Structure 1
Amino acid sequence: MTKKIVVAITGASGTIYGLRLLEALAADPSVETHLVMSPWAKENLAVEATDYTEKTVRALAEVVYDDRDLGASIASGSFQHDGMVIVPASMKTVAAIATGLADNLIARAADVTLKERRPLLVVPRESPFNQIHLENMLKLARMGVEIIPPIPAFYNQPQTIDDLIDHNTMKLLDHLHLSNDYSRRWQGLAAAKQAARQEAFHA
Structure 2
Amino acid sequence: MVTDRRDVFRRYLREAAPAVLARFPEESRPEIYALSFRIWRIDYDERHPYVAIGYNTETQCELEKRHGDPGEARWHYACWLLDGFEMLGNVPEDPVGAPLYVEEVKELGLWFDGDRDDDEGDRDDDEAGDIEAKRDLLGLHFADACIDLARHLHESGDIERLFGRPLPVVVFDMDCPEWEIEATEAANPPELIEEFLAWQRTAGEG
Structure of larger gyration radius? 2
Structure having greater relative contact order (Cα 8 Å, sep ≥ 6): 2
TM-score, structure 1 normalization: 0.26
TM-score, structure 2 normalization: 0.26
User: Between Structure 1 and Structure 2, which shows a larger proportion of helix residues?
Assistant: 2
